[in-house]
Amino acid sequence: MDKIRNVIVSLSLILSATYVKAQSEIPFSSSGMQLVAKRLIKTGEVIWGFEFLPDGNILLTHRKGELKLFSPKDQIVRTIRGLPPVYAQGQGGLLDIRLHPKYKENGWIYVSYSVQDNNDKSSTRLARFRLKNLRINDFQILFTAEPFVQSRIHFGSRILFDAQNFLYLSVGERNERHLAQKLDNHVGKILRLTDTGKPAPENPFPSKQYPRAKAEIWTYGHRNPQGLAIQTKTQKIFEQEHGPQGGDEINILKKGANYGWPIVTFGKEYVTGFSIGEGTSKQGIEQPIQYYAPSIAPCGLEIYEGNHLKPWRGHVFSGALALMHLNHIELNAKNEVIKEERLLVGKGFRIRNVKEGPDEYLYFSTDNGDLYQIKLIQHQRK
């Protein structure tokens, strides 16, 4: 009986683990550095989000609804069990993942994903859990955006923590443009929450002054925000979002501010190319620090702050799903864009997420299921 039990356990471990082999190394240069993008894994599924664990392993979200654990040391991808079903249709599925800033003390891991109700409508949800022996434990639903909408696009879903451990969650406007300007719903907004999913204190729309407004709202007037990053030295939060045909934006978030969609945009209507809204600017509406026309379809946002790639320190990186490159922006001291560079062009990468690792190298994931690490080969001689 013990032999049979051991065989069953061994088989289950084999079935839940996939051995992967890195194959691709792509040399390129930027900012006076000779670099290489090294593929660590290829899973074959969209890696929407990834997060680094203190033990060196990496959590991966497959948009189709699977949570994976990648071990760089032994090159194995294991499946984590116990995740509830997600609405994996259109742009929905299992989306972002982020550790609590005090993960070593409390063990909380946060995920965003899309869910469906009984009326064929869907929404963005935030939950947290603890991980033990490749199984999800203590799963808690923290927040679900209102209202549910009959749409399969624009879920937003990026997660970010600030220095006070408040959580920011991006929610797209679900292709219901008018809702982005209304404060009685969560769509087309950046939300600011406590780590238990409640409205954070000192949010800009308290119920006494704004009885119909959702108390979780931090900013509004967003289309489909799929990137959030924090600038450590200033604690400013950068947000990036998809425009329509043109009009992708990078913004710096200000408490209670309106970012314009669909009243103000640099984008045009699909098919017809007609203008949208009232123009590209309007009093009382924030302007982006960068916009893209034509669209690059930005996804994932990171401000590099490490030392291993020191010439990039303070620079902004994002994926480009449409024009297939790694977008690199250099800022001046006033956070004005002074240079844009498009890296890894022509490699066919639909880059879905970008993050600085604990080793201070830059990582990115793709819709083909690749996870790449960017490392320094050497500084170029002048």
Catalytic residue among 154, 242, 315, 328: 154
Q: Residue 86's closest CA among 113, 104, 112?
A: 113
Instruction: Please list, in sequence order, all residues whose beta carbon lies within 8 angstroms of the beta carbon of residue 320, skipping any fewer than 6 positions away.
Output: 296, 297, 298, 299, 326, 327, 342, 351
Residues ≥6 apart with Cβ < 8 Å to 196: 142
Active site residue 154: yes
Q: Is 338 exposed, middle or buried (0-12, 13-18, 19+ CB in 10 A)?
A: exposed
Q: Would you tell me how many other CB atoms lie within 10 Å of the CB of residue 9?
A: 10
Distances from the Cα of 130 to the Cα of 50, 251, 314, 342, 375, angstroms: 16, 33, 32, 38, 31
Rounded CA-CA distance 324/298 in Å is 10
Mode of pairing for the β-strands spanning 76-80 and 17-19: antiparallel
233, 234, 235, 236: CA torsion to nearest 10: -130
Distance CA 323, CA 295 (A): 8
Helix (H, G, I), strand (E, B) or coil at 157: coil
From the list 59, 72, 80, the residue with the least C-alpha distance to 19 is: 72
Cα→Cα distances 311→35, 174, 218, 307, 380, Å:
12, 38, 33, 8, 12
Using CA atoms, how far residue 155 sits from 158, 172, 192, 289, 316, in Å, is 9, 5, 16, 23, 23
| 3-class state of residue 224 by DSSP | strand
Give catalytic residue positions.
154
